[in-house]
């Protein structure tokens, strides 16, 4: 009995030690980064958040995190391109990016600057911590880099699912910038021995997303009685994952994934944009028809279907998505009713 109690204590001490690690999160005032920070703080990690505070960010999160987790959260307002040194961290979870495809079609340069050059600056700074030891091996003496990428790097696929090592074929400046960033991560891993892991995720939904994205757009317009704008026919299909499921998957990859590996994160839920709008309107008690929906000019270069095969993360790390859109959308609607972001 005594032996068992000691073992349990040891386990708890190990757990505390493990969770007292520091994670540098970039873009942590954004939608997914904000949820990831919340999860890390709840698990006992210390967090340093670097965010430029673009229009897409939610600066109120700073107060929430500082008040909720005193001494565990630090914020640095900075563009990742302007960082000259890295704050101490065991891990770097890199979310910071310009993320809205429509904006990238209007002005792609800002996407290249943040998503490509910003990533390269981070990689250069990590490489510096390796000193002259430029050999291709995974060291423990520098922070581990978790790069957050997207299903959009592949472009669309009519049938079937993309696997981790399939060829990129991006369709717009956003997905091209995310593809380029991945290439830099892989190359820096090889040349400078930076220990990296890459996750690619499908369409996230959940509380606190910017209303430029379809789910909050639909909820906010549905609540206020304004028409919902849908690109093209609305038949374009996406895979939909709850942001909390995605954060758990990223955490699994960060703590248990293999260096130099890519992991796909998707759910079993494939729906068209029309399906998503219909389900959301139903939950709001509204009809899906010409009085509630406006079809607007399609996005140039529109991808008709994204699909990731996430067998690898399921089989090697034991992760799978737990939430379903239909069951989650009620709570998400309540969130937007209470905390409008428009």
Q: Hey, which residues are catalytic here?
A: 151-152, 174
- In whole angstroms, how far apart are CA 330 and each of 219, 283, 336, 339? 10, 7, 10, 14
Name which of 75, 70, 78 is nearest 24 in CA terms: 75
Query: Are the C-beta atoms of residues 201 and 298 closer than 8 Å to each other?
Result: no
CB of 25 to ligand NAD, least distance (A): 10
How many Å from the N-terminal Cα to the C-terminal Cα in the chain? Answer: 58
Alpha helices in 173-242 (DSSP H): 173-192, 214-224
CB of 326 to ligand NAD, least distance (A): 18
- Name the residue nearer to ligand NAD (CB basis): 97 or 292: 97
- Name the residue nearer to ligand NAD (CB basis): 130 or 341: 341
Name which of 17, 149, 24, 32 is nearest 74 in CA terms: 24
- Name the residue nearer to ligand NAD (CB basis): 150 or 236: 150
- Name the residue nearer to ligand NAD (CB basis): 56 or 293: 56
What radius of gyration, in Å, describes the C-alpha atoms of the chain? 20
CB of 8 to ligand NAD, least distance (A): 38
Encoded tokens for 317:
């790390």
- Name the residue nearer to ligand NAD (CB basis): 110 or 227: 110
- Name the residue nearer to ligand NAD (CB basis): 79 or 166: 79
Query: Are the C-beta atoms of residues 61 and 35 closer than 8 Å to each other?
Result: no
Query: Are the C-beta atoms of residues 173 and 299 closer than 8 Å to each other?
Result: no
Tell me which residues touch ligand NAD (CB under 6 A). 26-27, 29-33, 51-54, 56-57, 79-81, 95-99, 114, 118, 148, 150, 178, 201, 203-204, 210
CB of 226 to ligand NAD, least distance (A): 22
DSSP 114: I
How many C-beta neighbours within 10 Å does residue 242 have? Answer: 23
CB of 138 to ligand NAD, least distance (A): 23
How many C-beta neighbours within 10 Å does residue 99 have? Answer: 23
Q: What is the DSSP string of 156-169?
A: --SSS-B-TTSPP-
């Amino acid at each position: 009995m005594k032996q068992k109690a000691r073992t349990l204590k040891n386990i708890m001490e190990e757990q505390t030690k493990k969770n007292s690690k520091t994670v540098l999160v970039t873009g942590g005032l954004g939608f997914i980064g904000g949820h990831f920070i919340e999860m890390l703080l709840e698990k006992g990690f210390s967090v340093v958040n670097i965010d430029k505070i673009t229009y897409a960010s939610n600066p109120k999160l700073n107060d929430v995190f500082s008040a909720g987790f005193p001494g565990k959260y630090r914020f640095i307002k900075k563009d990742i391109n302007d960082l000259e040194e890295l704050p101490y961290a065991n891990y770097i979870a890199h979310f910071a990016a310009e993320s809205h495809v429509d904006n990238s079609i209007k002005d792609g340069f800002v996407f290249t600057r943040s998503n490509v050059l910003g990533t390269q600056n981070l990689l250069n700074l990590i490489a510096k911590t390796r000193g002259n030891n430029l050999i291709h091996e995974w060291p423990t003496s520098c922070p581990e880099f978790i790069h957050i990428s997207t299903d959009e790097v592949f472009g669309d696929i009519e049938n079937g699912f993309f696997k981790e090592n399939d060829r990129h074929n991006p369709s717009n400046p956003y997905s091209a910038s995310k593809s380029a960033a991945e290439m830099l991560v892989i190359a820096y891993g090889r040349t400078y021995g930076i220990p990296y892991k890459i996750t690619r995720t499908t369409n996230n939904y959940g509380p606190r997303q910017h209303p430029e994205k379809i789910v909050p757009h639909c909820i906010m317009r549905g609540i206020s009685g304004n028409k919902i704008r849908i690109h093209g026919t609305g038949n374009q299909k996406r895979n939909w994952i709850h942001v909390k499921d995605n954060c758990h998957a990223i955490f699994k990859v960060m703590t248990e994934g293999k260096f130099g590996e890519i992991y796909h994160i998707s759910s079993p839920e494939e729906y068209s944009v029309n399906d998503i709008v219909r389900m959301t309107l139903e939950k709001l008690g509204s009809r899906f028809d010409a009085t509630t929906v406006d079809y607007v000019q399609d996005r140039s270069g529109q991808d008709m279907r994204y699909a990731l095969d996430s067998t690898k993360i399921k089989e090697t790390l034991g992760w799978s998505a737990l939430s379903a859109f239909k069951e989650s959308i009620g709570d998400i609607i309540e969130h937007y009713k209470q905390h409008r972001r428009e």
